[in-house]
């Protein structure tokens, strides 16, 4: 492997490592993957990943150090989201998308745009997602958090925390702000999981292990089409009967004096509908797993609620549900000692960055009192997560309800992570709950 200071073109990562960093199953294993990232940060912090089979995917640079991921995220002029797919994709998937939509991406949304379009689209909903506006819906979310915890306690004893709590709660919040009625939630959940977790046999609903890239992309394309049809009807309704929800903001928005084209409008709904729940769910479940394994920390937070914002932040860092995004270099440049050429593709790996010991002491430890905690789980720069205040609010309110109503929590079986390179985290978390 090339050393960190080497500015020559490096040897590509050995095939077994290259395979691992794009293998959804490696992300389900987690600890082994973190070991690999530890090694890469030391030995090849900006490492070339080449396909073993020609044409399988475009080569890319894997970026694992916190400082490099931060720099790339913040320099939105030098590292572009467009035109290459913003998440890791096989060439077959890109070709399929091109044939189906004329674009390399199946969905056009905020994450696909760069300046000057991106700020115009982002501005449309930015204020809606700021704390001042979210204050309007805080009581509703608090009530939902309490209802969710009450229902969990009523079930009693051993529960799957993901199924009963961390899954449905953020889904309901996002669907509420989009004005999607509760009876349509299971459909939204399934479509989101097909979009993000298409690589996981349980989550995709196919039960199929080892789907080919073509099968995955067909599943994803089907999910996109269903979303588009659903949200076209919703937008029509909100144009006729606007309310204060974010669905109405999007339906009635204009950019440069024109309403959004149908593909962009669908993309806006899809990103809000999908980005907001499996992510928050994964962070919430991860925190509960950590606390169930460490009763002393649970007791400490129960006794001192001032630790709560810290718990939320640490949960988000420790789980890092959005595991990577991709960027394309706009110019020749140097990153971490490597010469990156204009047009090169880069994977900014948030999991690796958030476990960088140069930034976080003992990074694998869940530490409710970690300070400072300047994690990169929400990204940074112009694309930094639009929903970060909502995610923090939801998690704080849920943990307040849990700490009020649950005396103790303990593991009750094997927790399982999703097989996914993009949005990952726990898909089951068996816990034994003892109410107050």
Q: What three-state secondary structure class fits 365?
A: coil
Q: Does 316 bind ligand HEM (CB under 6 A)?
A: yes
Q: Provide φ and ψ at 252, rounded to 5°.
A: -105, 10
Q: What is the DSSP string of 369-398?
A: T--S----TT--GGGS-TTHHHHHHHHHHH
Angle CA 245–286–210, to nearest 5: 90
Closest by alpha carbon to 161, among 403, 416, 436, 375? 416
Which positions from 131 to 170 touch ligand HEM by CB under 6 A, shown as an x/- string? Answer: ----------------------------------------
Which tokens is 217 given? 């992309």
Which positions from 214 to 253 touch ligand HEM by CB under 6 A, shown as an x/- string? Answer: ----------------------------------------
Give the burial string for 175-193 (b: 16+ CB within 10 Å, else e): bbbbbbeeeebeebbebbb
Shortest spacing between CB 173 and ligand HEM, in angstroms: 8
Give whichever of 12 and 71 is closer to ligand HEM, judged by the CB atom.
71
Query: Contacting ligand HEM (CB under 6 A), which of 73, 89, 194, 204?
Result: 73
Give whichever of 145 and 272 is closer to ligand HEM, judged by the CB atom.
272
Give me the helices (H) in 23-82, please: 24-29, 31-43, 66-74
Q: Does 285 bind ligand HEM (CB under 6 A)?
A: no
Q: Which stretch binds ligand HEM (CB under 6 A): 188-196, 286-294, 319-327, 428-436?
A: 319-327
Shortest spacing between CB 394 and ligand HEM, in angstroms: 7
Query: Contacting ligand HEM (CB under 6 A), which of 386, 393, 426, 429?
Result: 386
- Cα 101 from Cα 106, distance rounded (Å): 7
Cβ neighbours for 315, distance < 8 A, ≥ 6 positions apart = 283, 284, 286, 287, 290, 366, 395
Query: Contacting ligand HEM (CB under 6 A), which of 378, 393, 426, 431?
Result: 378
Give whichever of 60 and 378 is closer to ligand HEM, judged by the CB atom.
378
Query: Contacting ligand HEM (CB under 6 A), which of 2, 13, 93, 110?
Result: 110
Strand pairing class (430-435; 406-411): antiparallel
DSSP assigned state of 322: B
Q: Does 271 bind ligand HEM (CB under 6 A)?
A: yes
Shortest spacing between CB 276 and ligand HEM, in angstroms: 3
Residues numbered 335-364 forming contacts with ligand HEM, rule: CB under 6 A: 350
Q: Does 211 bind ligand HEM (CB under 6 A)?
A: no
Query: Contacting ligand HEM (CB under 6 A), which of 199, 283, 349, 419?
Result: 283
Query: Contacting ligand HEM (CB under 6 A), which of 80, 390, 397, 398?
Result: 390
Query: Contacting ligand HEM (CB under 6 A), which of 80, 174, 368, 433?
Result: 174
Shortest spacing between CB 14 and ligand HEM, in angstroms: 28
Cβ neighbours for 216, distance < 8 A, ≥ 6 positions apart = 93, 198, 199
Q: Are 110 and 76 in contact (CB under 8 A)?
A: no
Q: Does 380 bind ligand HEM (CB under 6 A)?
A: yes
Q: Are 162 and 426 in contact (CB under 8 A)?
A: yes
Interaction site with ligand HEM (CB under 6 A): 73, 110-111, 122, 174, 271-272, 275-276, 279-280, 283, 316, 321-322, 325, 350, 377-381, 383-387, 390-391
């Amino acid at each position: 492997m090339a050393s960190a200071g080497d500015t020559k073109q490096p040897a590509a990562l050995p095939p077994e490592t290259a395979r691992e960093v794009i293998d959804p199953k490696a992300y389900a294993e987690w600890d082994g993957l973190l070991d690999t990232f530890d090694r890469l940060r030391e030995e090849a912090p900006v490492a070339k990943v080449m396909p073993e089979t020609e044409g399988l995917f475009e080569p890319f640079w894997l970026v694992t150090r916190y400082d490099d991921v931060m720099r790339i995220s913040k320099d939105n002029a030098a590292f572009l989201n467009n035109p290459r797919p913003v998440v890791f994709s096989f060439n077959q998937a890109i070709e399929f998308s091109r044939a189906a939509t004329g674009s390399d991406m199946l969905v056009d949304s905020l994450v696909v745009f760069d300046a000057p379009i991106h700020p115009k689209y982002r501005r449309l909903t930015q204020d809606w997602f700021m704390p001042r506006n979210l204050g309007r819906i805080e009581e509703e979310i608090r009530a939902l958090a309490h209802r969710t915890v009450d229902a969990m306690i009523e079930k009693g004893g051993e529960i799957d925390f993901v199924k009963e709590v961390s899954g449905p709660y953020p889904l309901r919040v996002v669907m509420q702000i989009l004005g999607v009625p509760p009876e349509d939630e299971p459909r939204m959940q399934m479509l989101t999981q097909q979009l993000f977790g298409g690589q996981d046999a349980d989550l995709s609903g196919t039960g199929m292990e080892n789907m080919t890239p073509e099968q995955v992309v067909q599943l994803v394309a089907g999910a996109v089409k269903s979303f588009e049809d659903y949200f076209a009807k919703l937008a029509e309704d909100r144009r006729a009967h606007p309310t204060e929800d974010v669905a109405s903001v999007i339906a009635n928005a204009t950019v440069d004096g024109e309403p959004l084209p149908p593909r962009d409008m669908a993309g806006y709904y899809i990103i809000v509908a999908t980005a907001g729940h499996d992510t928050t769910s994964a962070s919430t479940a991860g925190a509960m797993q950590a606390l169930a394994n460490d009763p002393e920390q649970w007791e400490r937070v129960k006794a001192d609620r001032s630790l709560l914002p810290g718990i939320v932040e640490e949960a988000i860092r420790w789980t890092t549900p959005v595991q990577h995004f991709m960027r394309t270099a706009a110019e020749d440049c140097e990153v971490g000692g490597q010469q990156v050429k204009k047009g090169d593709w880069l994977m900014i790996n948030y999991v690796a960055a958030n476990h960088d010991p140069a930034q976080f002491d003992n990074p694998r430890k869940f530490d409710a009192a970690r300070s400072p905690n300047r994690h990169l789980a929400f990204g940074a720069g112009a694309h930094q997560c639009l929903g970060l205040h909502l995610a923090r609010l939801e998690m704080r309110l849920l943990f307040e309800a849990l700490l009020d109503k649950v005396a103790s929590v303990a593991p009750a079986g094997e927790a399982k992570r999703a097989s996914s390179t993009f949005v990952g985290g726990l898909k089951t978390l068996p816990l034994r709950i003892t109410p107050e």
